[in-house]
Amino acid sequence: MARSLTFLFILYSFWLLLSGFFTPFLLASGAGSTFAIWLLARRMDVIDREGFPIQLGWRAFVSYWPWLAKEIFKSAWDVTKRIIDPRLPISPTLIEFAPTQKTDLGLVIHANSITLTPGTIAIEVEPGRFLVHALTREGAEGLAGSEMDRRCTELETA
């Protein structure tokens, strides 16, 4: 029940943030819309441990997301330099490695983090096996046993 009420609170807060209007009619409309979405989500049974992972808590916001944002920026800068370079120093590579995550949620977080990072795309994701395309050989070699893998494993055990 706590997960469900937290979902409702976050959904309405997000609506308020995006709306920016605080007239009684719009506040009531937002509350009604949020409540309807909450009812649908409960009916579809998507407010569970994987669909709404509040167990990640503030730890994800404080440590993981800032670190991932920094990694995305570094990768975007690297990809930009390679594109601008007239020699176009790329070496497209496929790499297969075994991630250390044990849960589906951990695997999804890791695969999405790889895909969000410019220059890499998670192509196939299975328990114990990732197939990733990287723009450079160096980027591909840095994936197995990486800091990202370690941090995603830490998140799933939170």
Cα atoms found within 13 Å of the Cα of residue 90, Cβ hemisphere only: 18
What is the structure's pLDDT at 68? 93
What is the structure's pLDDT at 122? 95
- What is the distance in angstroms between the CA of the first residue and the CA of the last residue of the chain? 20
Within the chain, what is the greatest distance between any pair of CA atoms?
60
What is the structure's pLDDT at 49? 61
What is the structure's pLDDT at 111? 95
What is the structure's pLDDT at 50? 59
Mean pLDDT of residues grouped by 10 in the chain (158 residues)? 82 91 92 93 77 64 87 95 92 93 89 94 94 92 88 80
What is the structure's pLDDT at 57? 67
